[in-house]
Amino acid sequence: MKKPLLVANWKENKDLKEAKDWVLAVGPQIAKRNLKIIVCVPFPLIFPLFELIGQKKWQENLYLAAQDISRFEGGAYTGEVAAKMLSGVCQFCLVGHSERKKYFGESQEEVIAKIKILLTQNFTPILCLANFEQLDFYHKNFPSLGENKDLILVYEPPEAISGGGAYHPEDPKTSESKIQAIKEKFGTRFLVLYGGSVNPENILDFLARPSIDGALIGQASLEPQTFLELVDKAFSLI
């Protein structure tokens, strides 16, 4: 059984103290077992958490990711954060999350522009796919990936995203067949994760399916104890 990739997505949650407490609770457990996870955190938390993770020497265990990025390289774009500003601090970035489309009207063309900038700045994009229409568009318009560039894909049906504390995941069998279709298009070189209402109770239903390489976890990543329970289950298979 291969090692699953777990990506926590805090969304618009946690102040600095809560974020540091999470890292201090989760970090030792992940480091002790020499596991690797990625945490997508809000912009203002990236630098202080980078320092904390560095002080604790957990850089090989806890990897930081941004949750979005400007589609511009830099300049007069008030409120935007350029990829180059995060260069050397984090190497992953979530892009195309369905909440960016739902609440901020992000278009597929903007997602491609963001991916181009991320690749130029040597980030690994974590690209979310909600459906086959997006899969076709992103695949057709994807910039060519050089030998040493990487990409992580997430299949996440928007209706499966948890809401109001309630979990309603997709049937893992359906997710598996969607993920197989994504792999047929993008190639088996890339990891494809499932996202949407993953929690400690259902994580193994997804990971037990060979084509699902890991999970993107929102709600169940917020509380360190719940997240560690999920980590325990996920890595109990290897």
From 96, 157, 196, 200, residue interacting with ligand PGA (rule: CB under 6 A): 196
Range in contact with ligand PGA (rule: CB under 6 A) among 30-38, 84-92, 203-211, 216-224: 216-224
Residue 230 CA, distance from chain mean position:
16
Residue 186, number of CB atoms within 10 A of its CB: 19
Burial of 109 (0-12, 13-18, 19+ CB in 10 A): exposed
From 90, 216, 231, 234, residue interacting with ligand PGA (rule: CB under 6 A): 216
From 27, 96, 125, 195, residue interacting with ligand PGA (rule: CB under 6 A): 195
Residue 67 lies near ligand PGA (rule: CB under 6 A):
no
- 139 catalytic residue (yes or no): no
Task: Between 43 and 87, name the residue whose CB sits nearer to ligand PGA.
Answer: 43
Residue 135 lies near ligand PGA (rule: CB under 6 A):
no
Range in contact with ligand PGA (rule: CB under 6 A) among 21-29, 70-78, 100-108, 195-203: 195-203
Minimal CB distance to ligand PGA: which residue? 218
From 30, 86, 212, 217, residue interacting with ligand PGA (rule: CB under 6 A): 217
- 97 catalytic residue (yes or no): yes
x/- binding map, residues 139-168, to ligand PGA, per CB under 6 A?
-----------------x----xx------
Residue whose token pair is 């999920």: 230
Site size toward ligand PGA, by CB under 6 A:
13
Which residues of the shown chain bind ligand PGA in the complex (CB under 6 A)? 9, 156, 161-162, 195-198, 216-220
User: Which residues are annotated as catalytic?
Assistant: 97, 156
